[in-house]
Structure 1
């Protein structure tokens, strides 16, 4: 008998947002914020956050290998969320492969779900200069039976909107696209052009961020400067300048600085490899242990900073990357086991994991719609540093309270689109 096959599509998005926290007006609110801080600090040490960090750097390295010397901008947190939502419906070898890829193999599914629920709640409480929003949705083919437990877990732990649509009707495409547009502040007006007859479910995650620098760059100091491209060429780019005291560290072949947003809970970490170090090599050797060690060595130091303006979109199918990282079985039509989503047969399998992002870095702040090495420190601490970001660099936006990596990008050539 011919085996029936249906499929699942997963999409991760990042863009811009408008959301904030009002200032505290009384002792009860102050007490509430204190509890939020305690909870965030607890989350920072959880196995889930550590797993997400490890997955983020694995993902970034593999994307760079497949797209060498190209600008990259992703939200590893968005991708982890979307895949973890799907993981709740995986069984057998498929569940094991996905858990291993996400570094969740030593964490129970219940523990991961509960920690995600707490993490999502913690990340909603920021400050008046930092806006962050996370939205999830499941779009189901009308008339197809899905297991209630799968839907309930996504609703309870991930705050997921669940909606059944007649996928054969053209207006279903518009309904889904409008939800995406509304949850990306209209920066991403369309995600799908059509729905195939085999599609039974669409899983969408959206994470949106907008933050103002704690200390904004003075626009009058922005100047056109040369940015060193790969090879011998240079490109004139608008370079923003400021001076002050920053969290800074100089390693054996790089410099890193933290530029904070708002009250400092969220910051952008900029890694500038030395002029004789290729950014690609730096990305290949970057891992969770290196990250943790370097961030712990940051210290306040007076210095001068020059950073190029940025504005670009990024879009990629993550199928190849996730297969290389160990998730190949989840994409195999006759092997994948998503029996936790709906009764089988017919089989479910993932046909595409798609990620699209937008980032803008300017004088006011940023708006955004993932080996073994030996660390050799400098023998003495300089009295002042100069960080001229005029060659390829890495930047990471982290929530410092929970130590969650929200966004990361590798810039080989600064661009300002639009």
Structure 2
């Protein structure tokens, strides 16, 4: 079986697969996390359909979780519904997020995953001590007071914090224009992942191939190649969109706790044709039904 990824039509999902011993008795249900991830992706895509999208649903959930700790009334309920926590016992989500991030952040020899949260409060403003306590308890957040009127200094301070927690991969997250005289609180989340493929691509197998863009134009792109045993499947959603058939490939990182799932339609169609059918149950079906088999993989470098 061969899967060639020659166009920008593919969807990439970084699937976090927890080790069995990291899963507690009370974890966030998979349908909640998958549904939130899909809805968030579709929202981001609707805002800017031309650019590639890379995001961490868990990071967004943690940031909203911190906001939820200080919310009340309709705002509280809207946040819980947006995150998909409406079916949980109120307050349970904080322990679940705490357990999940702790499990993911355990040191591993094969890969590194780090989550960090920070809370910046306006100097002189009044905040509930209980709110600050819970932020530290559930999210292990760094808490600092700043003067948002000094926007350049605040941006530099936060960017330095982000740089330190992302191994210098993100250096300028915020600018002075992101703050104003009415800013009273800023929540920041940083996530860092470093891992190596379980099955390495050999540099000498990289070749130049035509890479099709969404507008039909082509560019020459360096494509990595390897042949090996991977979890792979072909699935039909019963529709005529993209021919209704999709290739799904799971590529594990070393240690096999983390993997990347690649979804590619059998026929070359615009990404906008594929995106509307992506639903949480469909992702779950794909992930649960791929089978180990010999696959030839071509992937843009």
Give TM-score, length-normalised by structure 1. 0.62
Indicate the structure with greater helix content.
2
Instruction: Give the whole-Å Cα distance in 2 for the aligned partners of 1:86 and 1:206.
Output: 16
Report how far residue 273 of structure 1 moved.
Answer: 1.1
**Residues 172/69 of structure 1: CA separation in 2 closer, same or farther (3 Å cut):** closer
Which residue matches 1:191?
A: 173
Which residue matches 1:52?
A: 33
Which residue matches 1:98?
A: 79
Instruction: Give the whole-Å Cα distance in 1 for the aligned partners of 2:256 and 2:228.
Output: 15
Instruction: Give the whole-Å Cα distance in 2 for the aligned partners of 1:143 and 1:48.
Output: 40
Which residue matches 2:54?
A: 73
Which residue matches 2:221?
A: 237
**Residues 173/63 of structure 1: CA separation in 2 closer, same or farther (3 Å cut):** closer
Alignment partner for residue 205 of structure 1, among 178, 189, 196? Answer: 189
Encode CA deviations 1:209-244: one digit per residue, 9 max, x unaligned.
Answer: 111001110000100001122243211100000001
Secondary structure class of the residue paired with 1:303: strand
Structure 1: tracts of 5 or more residues without a match: 1-35, 310-418
CA contact (8 A) 2:28 2:96 kept: no
Instruction: Give the whole-Å Cα distance in 2 for the aligned partners of 1:276 and 1:238.
Output: 20
Alignment pair present for 1:176 and 2:143: no
Instruction: Give the whole-Å Cα distance in 2 for the aligned partners of 1:47 and 1:264.
Output: 21
Residues paired across the two proteins, number: 273
RMSD of equivalent CA atoms? 1.9
Which residue matches 1:160?
A: 141
The 5 Å alignment of 1:127-166 reads 127-166=108-147
CA contact (8 A) 2:229 2:292 kept: yes
Which residue matches 1:274?
A: 266
The 5 Å alignment of 1:7-406 reads 37-42=19-24, 46-125=27-106, 127-169=108-150, 171-194=153-176, 195-252=179-236, 253-309=245-301
Report how far residue 84 of structure 1 moved.
Answer: 1.2
Encode CA deviations 1:179-200: one digit per residue, 9 max, x unaligned.
Answer: 1221122222223332311001
Report how far residue 163 of structure 1 moved.
Answer: 0.8
CA contact (8 A) 1:88 1:109 kept: no
Secondary structure class of the residue paired with 2:249: strand
Secondary structure class of the residue paired with 1:73: coil
Structure 2: tracts of 5 or more residues without a match: 1-17, 237-244
**Residues 142/47 of structure 1: CA separation in 2 closer, same or farther (3 Å cut):** same
Report how far residue 107 of structure 1 moved.
Answer: 1.6
Instruction: Give the whole-Å Cα distance in 1 for the aligned partners of 2:234 and 2:287.
Output: 11
